[in-house]
Chain A
């Protein structure tokens, strides 16, 4: 079964510093990986995805993620954090067994400190 794990419940980083939010995956076959962000009382907003191609994926709002097959990881990164980046971040993998069903990680709360 497909799954993703986010080992950190919360990540704190100072504004201007680089940030990393971790995600590891377990899939059979080629992974379809995604990052979403959620602000309070809102739905999820798509940030970026990895299907095939370059291991470094660039997404919205200056975020990027690096697909690492040997480490089965797909960590989300940003070179310089903003206070407005503070939100809940979800890693997800798509069930490739013929549907667009998504399996989400438990989420990581990012807090960027001014």
Chain B
């Protein structure tokens, strides 16, 4: 299957700083990527749809100024958590689709 690579796998940051998470499609081009957030023992919550060359589409209740998404190329989307706070600590997962969705390995963000 297609490969989606997400980096970093885990990150610890201080409260108030920003963190960038990268999502790359390694062997295919993805005009659309998706960013999810997963709380412990819960399902995936879609945060936003990342569109190459245009603005991301955010789901209701997701702060676009806090979760900045950039999709500058057909193989890379980035999610930047700005001015992170402890409540932003979570597991973030990206996906891109060919015939079905392929997921990155996820990023565990811990804000201290």
Do A and B associate with each other? yes
Q: Which residues of A contact B (CB under 8 A)?
A: 34, 36, 41-46, 49, 90, 92, 94, 99-107
Whether B43 lies near A104 (C-beta < 8 A) is: yes
Query: A107 CA to B104 CA in the complex, in Å?
Result: 18
| Secondary structure class of chain A's binding surface, majority of residues | strand
What count of chain B residues pass the 8 Å CB interface test? 25
Known: A41-B91, A43-B6, A90-B44. A100 touches B97 (CB 8 A): yes
Q: Does B58 contact A (CB under 8 A)?
A: no
Query: A18 CA to B106 CA in the complex, in Å?
Result: 30
Q: Which residues of B contact A (CB under 8 A)?
A: 1, 4, 6, 9-10, 32, 34, 42-44, 46, 49, 91, 93, 95, 97, 99-106, 108
Chain B residues positioned under 8 Å from A100 (CB to CB): 32, 34, 97, 101
Whether B32 lies near A90 (C-beta < 8 A) is: no
The 9 A-B pairs of least Cβ separation, nearest first, read A100-B97, A43-B103, A44-B103, A43-B105, A43-B106, A106-B43, A104-B44, A104-B43, A43-B104
Chain A residues positioned under 8 Å from B105 (CB to CB): 42-43
Chain A residues positioned under 8 Å from B1 (CB to CB): 46
